[in-house]
Chain A
């Protein structure tokens, strides 16, 4: 039976889609059959980040409305055999999602895959609500700054009350904290929140700390999950996060950003 994991945050722009792609690819690299689903109807991005936007024929909404079979909508990733993508519609909006439709699709996907990763849209309305409703576990993506932490806190409240598991009294959705865009220098200057402070407010287990890195933007520009870039520190941090997600115990370490050498610093000054 597959695990349904929702990648959510409340706040927009913190790295949900990037993380979905990275975690999905990371799991596939380890041999687990994984599918990533885009729940951001109308503002789809997952297909672009995965590099398959030119192969989208049918989408999630088509399947929900019975216009296409799931097999027709699923796109196999060209780089990783174990990874598939279910893109969503760009022309419709979140009202096209129905709870029954989502349940049917997820039930079908559960049979075939080991992990189903749902990329939630930002916000707490219908799209985000349906993305988290059937989840077994949740990755709460947070930036180390106050508004993101508050929004993540709100989302944690919703995970413990407005999900299938909460409503049926089953074991709670297991939350994981994924800190993204972490800049150790800004933290030491006091501009960004410290990990301990964030954990004190959110009080959920830490899955990983992904450092701010230019490789993330480069990866999304070429349509590759950042975890497939061997030189990226963000990619390595995502690999660690995936290890913890599947149950391995790993110490959290924050990899320092590359400090520019003396020569490079001089160059920057004169430029």
Chain B
């Protein structure tokens, strides 16, 4: 899950009508996005005695498997869970076994509403990741090594509506990026052309990621969750050769010489 961080910049209108950026920290809290891996349990039928018995058996074998893991129930094959009462019972049973169930996925609208009534959220999207075990059985799967970093190189124009995701490092575009296109990278983003769409660098939390472009006309730039929109760019950097980076938890834009 990724959210957007509300930067602690407050813009005020001066008497001349110009926008001056003053940074003040008036908020007693900060909101930011962060992704955690949840454990998904796909119910293959009713949440009946057989289900709880099997669950108890699993917990006996690996008591720490689910410790502190946010738990999500997949309702794709669990049509029997429909009423508020069904979900309340499920939550009570699971929490009684020290399983922190937080939400459901792949449920129908009715199921989502009933789950909401029981204090669960209906989650959308999500990506599969290998489940990690700590202190599990002897034959636990070896954790997969981090894939080697690699740069994604794009030489064709990035058209409106296209989304390019560099999940292993930097993203380099040797062409222009149209309005309505999205560039997303784990590392930095380099555009040897006009950047008109959105660019989101350091999406996995890398605060050292930067964004470089030959002409900044972007709709939105973001680094590690901190973003600025086209409105906030300011005349000094618009249509200039610019680099964007984080400094002191603020997204700075500076023209390149």
Hey, which bits of chain B sit against chain A, CB under 8 A? 156-162, 176, 178-181
Contacts and interface: CB of A to CB of B under 8 A. Distances in A.
Contacts of A154: 159-161, 180
Interface in A140-189: 150-151, 153-154, 156-158, 160-161
Contact of B179 (A150, A157, A160, A203): A150
A1 interface: no
11 contacts: A150-B160, A151-B160, A153-B160, A153-B161, A154-B160, A154-B180, A156-B159, A157-B161, A158-B161, A160-B159, A203-B157
Contacts of B159: 153-154, 156-157, 160
A201 interface: yes
A157 B162 CA distance: 7
Interface residues of A, number: 11
A157 B176 CA distance: 13
Nearest to B157: A203
For B156, B160, B179, which residue has the most chain A Cβ atoms within 10 angstroms? Answer: B160
B218 to A, nearest CB: 15
Interface string A193-218: 00000000101000000000000000
Given A157-B159, A201-B178, A203-B176, 14 more contacts: A150-B179, A151-B160, A153-B180, A154-B159, A154-B161, A154-B180, A156-B159, A157-B160, A157-B161, A157-B162, A157-B181, A158-B161, A160-B159, A203-B157
A221 B181 CA distance: 39
Task: Sort A-B residue pairs by CB-CB distance and give the 10 closest, nearest first.
Answer: A157-B159, A153-B160, A154-B161, A154-B160, A157-B162, A153-B178, A156-B159, A153-B159, A150-B160, A203-B157
A59 to B, nearest CB: 32
Contacts of B160: 150-151, 153-154, 157
Contacts of B179: 150, 153
B167 to A, nearest CB: 19
A159 B78 CA distance: 41
A150 B176 contact: no
Contacts of B158: 157
A34 B162 CA distance: 34
Contacts of B180: 150, 153-154
B192 to A, nearest CB: 14
Contacts of B157: 203
A160 B162 CA distance: 11
Interface in A23-61: none
Contacts of B176: 203
A112 B160 CA distance: 37
A161 B160 CA distance: 13
A203 to B, nearest CB: 5
Contacts of A150: 160, 178-180
